[in-house]
Structure 1
């Protein structure tokens, strides 16, 4: 299990638009979040130990903040040829309280400069990036409890209109996105 950090997209970046198929049927675009007070775009997948480690608490955080007006959208961009457990039919088995979308051509992951799972991006009601980073400092095989404290602080700041200090934003850490052969992004240097 190799650990890959997030790329830390520049604060203030406007959320890249997309329209992707939902595992529950139909397509969903970023307009889904238009009426929210802010929203989270998460790059996750079914098999990553880092995602599985936070999954239960992520669902709790989502339920809590959805009730407060925050939108949540999950996207899987992994190559399902090599990782069939991340295919849309397997994604549909998840019972998430938020839409779970499939980015087959991996262009949405590239637009967000996503690098790992989980990779979390928080936008304000104006679609401007205000937080990108870790869910919390817990990791698989580490005794630190999973709380979602970093994401919770970011969402509380969005709801109260406060700025989130950039220097306190810690990159997420997880499995690298499983890029299709020849489709690796150029933002890794």
Structure 2
């Protein structure tokens, strides 16, 4: 399993690319409906990635914590489900429930939303402020699967606190690490090369 790092193609201050995507029950959700009064955390994830599994329960806890402060969370799966059927929508609701994800988990079938955000790996984190401007794109924390370190969400939690306090965004945060998004053949974005 090769570790991939996020591309950071969105820069601090960039607007969140709009989207409208379905949940597993086919209910459509859009960016403006999901956002919180103080911001939005967008997470590119999937069901099978060991990096996502490693931090999934802690992500559920962190999402509940920041929701109480006005920052909502949404997870988006963009993987090719023909090659990775375990990531298909019919398995997403179960995965979310198992890990305490009380936020929308949406399916990006044509992978256009992942490309718009410049997402490269699962998990990949994008924190937007109340104006839906990018504040932080970086790792959840410095733990990794099989590292012996539990997931804490310390890096992301610190970024949320800084954002809510009106402080400057972290300079050069450590990028997200994980498995590459499973692009459909011929659909790979230029930054994947």
TM-score by shorter chain over 0.5: yes
Gaps of 5+ in 2: none
Q: Find the counterpart in structure 2 of residue 54 from structure 1.
A: 55
Q: Find the counterpart in structure 1 of residue 189 from structure 2.
A: 185
RMSD between superposed Cα atoms in Å: 1.1
Question: What's the TM-score, normalizing by structure 2?
Answer: 0.94
Instruction: Name the SS for the 2:91 alignment partner.
Output: helix
Judged with a 3 Å threshold, the aligned counterparts in structure 2 of structure 1 residues 150 and 31 are, in CA distance, closer, same or farther, namely same
Instruction: Name the SS for the 1:150 alignment partner.
Output: helix
Alignment partners' CA distance in 2, 1:34 and 1:97: 14
Aligned positions, number: 188
* Residue pairs, 1:1-189, within 5 angstroms: 1-8=1-8, 9-93=10-94, 94-95=96-97, 96-167=101-172, 169-188=173-192
Cα deviations by residue, 1:22-60 (Å, 9 ceiling, x for unpaired): 124410000124452011000000000000000111111
Alignment partners' CA distance in 2, 1:127 and 1:181: 32
The offset of 1:149, in angstroms, is 0.2
Gaps of 5+ in 1: none
Alignment partners' CA distance in 2, 1:35 and 1:132: 18
Q: Once structures 1 and 2 are overlaid, which stretch shifts more, 110-119 or 179-188?
A: 179-188
Alignment partners' CA distance in 1, 2:125 and 2:58: 14
Question: What's the TM-score, normalizing by structure 1?
Answer: 0.96
Alignment partners' CA distance in 2, 1:151 and 1:6: 15
4+ residue segments displaced more than 3 Å:
none
